[in-house]
Amino acid sequence: MLTHIKELCALPGISGREDRVREAILAYLTAHARDFTYHIDPLGSLIVKKGQSPEKIALYAHMDEVGMMITHITAEGLLGFSPMGMDARVLFGRRVRVGEDLLPGVIGGKAWHHMDSKEREAPLKTEQMAIDIGARDKDEALKYVRPGDMAVPDAPFVEFGGGRIAARALDNRVGCALLCRLIAESEHSFTAVFTVQEETGLNGAAAAANALGIPTALILETTTAGDLPDVEPHKQVCRLGAGPVLSFADKGAIYSRPLLETALTVAADRGIATQLKEGVFGGNDSRAVQRAGPGARVLAVSVPCRYLHSASCMADTADIEATYRLLYALLPALV
């Protein structure tokens, strides 16, 4: 599964540009899974039916990642951009890959030693930065890039420490890899939904959930781990190495108490350490799925991840494996 996560993280796929990720998932399923059918909905979400009667439960994982979209090109050949889920504070000086051909580029702006004292007090805003692909002018840049193209951080997948990994797009290629493995290995019937456009409004999940109308859903995600030196223990939310994260609520959804209790019971019976998300923060596809059609009971099962929505998300391989074990054991209790 680690190899598969690495392969998925290498693929560019911001919101609305998930094609390469979807193709890779289909290739994996074709090679490793059996007894499934699939279709691609009009928005681009991949909907897989595993087994013969998968209408009782659906599992969701979003394919898109945070990144940038090119908005305009200056006379000097620099690329203006709009962040797609990324904060401007993690962008300055970052190497990126741009467009379908993944051209190398650098996000630049006024250098620190050119700033006056007032400018140095505040981080650069997005409109003060541009992507430099080395073009001499606008005409040359237009040979390779046009507005609407995507850009993603140029950050390799690395393994380090005691089983830790770092890469861009762990949010949520980890969830996609978990769901792929469940389709390949589980003997139970369910519907798997690999959604688009989660980072920019939950559009894919909303459309798919309305079309499917399945009453129970698990959302496979990553969630922010704040176990860092300057964060008080009660504000850390969750921690690397402490197992999968189960949520009771976030900013968009109230999770099903019976589903949560079932997950905790299954985990205890199998000796799988879990952690409750300590606070009401963030959100994910659960919000859209919960309110779609006649409504659905939902539960998020997440892998803790440091530095979320940056070029260097960090996760623990033991947490990923424990999350898979929990999902694999939880399915038969729900179908």
User: In this structure, which amino acid lies at residue 285?
Assistant: D
- Encoding tokens for residue 181? 């493995």
In the set 18, 198, 221, 321, the catalytic residue is 198
Task: Locate all alpha helices (DSSP H) within the chain, ordered by sequence.
Answer: 2-9, 19-32, 138-142, 170-185, 203-212, 257-270, 286-291, 317-334
Measured in whole angstroms, the distance separating CA 104 from the mean position of its chain's CA atoms is 23
Q: What does the DSSP assignment read for 26-83?
A: HHHHHHH--SEEEEE-TT--EEEEESS---SEEEEEE--B-EEEEEEE-TTS-EEEEE
Are 213 and 246 within 8 A, CB to CB?
no
User: In this structure, which amino acid lies at residue 298?
Assistant: V
Quick one: 292 exposed, middle or buried, by C-beta within 10 A (0-12, 13-18, 19+)? buried
Distance CA 198, CA 65 (A): 8
Residue with tokens 């952690």: 275
Residue 156 phi, psi (nearest 5): -75, 155
What would you measure as the largest C-alpha separation in the chain, in angstroms?
Answer: 67
Distance CA 231, CA 210 (A): 39
Quick one: 125 exposed, middle or buried, by C-beta within 10 A (0-12, 13-18, 19+)? exposed
Asked about 198 being catalytic, the answer comes back as yes
User: Which sequence positions are flagged as catalytic?
Assistant: 198
